[in-house]
Amino acid sequence: MKNIAYASFIALILLSGIANAQAVGKWVYLFNGKSTAQLRGYKMDGFPTEAWKVEDGALVTNPEVPNVDLVSKNTYTNFDLTFEWKVSKAGNSGVFYNVEETSAHESGNGNSPNWLDNFEMQLLDDIDFNDKEPKRSAGSLYDLIAPQHKILKPVGEYNTGRLYVNKGHVEQWLNGVKVVEYEIGSKKLNDLIAASKYKDNPKFAKATSGHLMFQHHGQRIWLKNIRVKRLS
């Protein structure tokens, strides 16, 4: 009887932990400066300790090894994500959402496995990166919408980022300014997709829920204070 009671008690604790981790309206740290317990490598069970390091309270990519992207262990549908980021000179990265981990990882090519499948908020050194197209600049909805009223800090300084997704309405914020806004499924966005590099991919942005993904593009990027709040 005692064993049954103890087992039930442990089960309740575990269930409570799951509920707290997924509670609506509560901020949860994906990275708090120390623990990487809420993150893992793309299509991996654990954290990619060679490709990413924790240094001075930040997650830092290692450009000397094949790139591995980070994904959240939990999946999200409607959420508010905030984080701080900076890149090295000519650095490139991005934040993806609704990632399903269906594409094969091609280490060493610089691109994420899902870079043609999911919406991306671009993180970039606008000055020294070789692609100067505004719709692929820092804060953009990559290859679709250029950021407006952007204030980008110099390389070496942290920017703040925010990605808000709620029932098809999406906002991207950079340093406290809303720089991109769109409605998933709208004619305006669909027309932009039809004119982009995504036009020949029938599965682009079809997923409505999935993992959050942070890109290792082969350059150095720093991420810290990554928080997410479920909206439903």
CA distance 170 to 186: 12
CA distance 159 to 196: 27
pLDDT in tens, 103-138: 876 656 566 777 789 999 999 999 999 999 999 999
pLDDT in tens, 167-176: 999 999 999 9
pLDDT of residue 109: 59
Mean pLDDT of 62-71: 94
Q: Considering the entire predicted model, what is its pTM?
A: 0.89
pLDDT of residue 87: 97
- The answer to which of 10-24, 75-89, 185-199 has the lowest mean pLDDT is 10-24
pLDDT of residue 182: 98
Confidence bin at 207 (pLDDT 50/70/90): very high
pLDDT in tens, 3-41: 554 444 444 444 444 444 569 999 999 999 999 999 999
Residue 16 is which amino acid? S
Q: Which of 87, 191, 81, 67 is nearest to 129 (CA)?
A: 87
User: Which is more confidently placed, 203 or 13?
Assistant: 203
CA distance 4 to 22: 27
Distances (CA, A) of 219 to 19, 57, 107, 171, 177: 37, 19, 13, 26, 26
Residue 155 neighbours by CB under 8 Å, 6+ apart:
86, 87, 88, 89, 91, 125, 127, 128
Assess contact for 158 and 83: CB atoms under 8 A: no
Mean pLDDT score of the chain, rounded to an integer?
Answer: 90
Mean pLDDT of 207-215: 97
pLDDT in tens, 131-172: 999 999 999 999 999 999 999 999 999 999 999 999 999 999
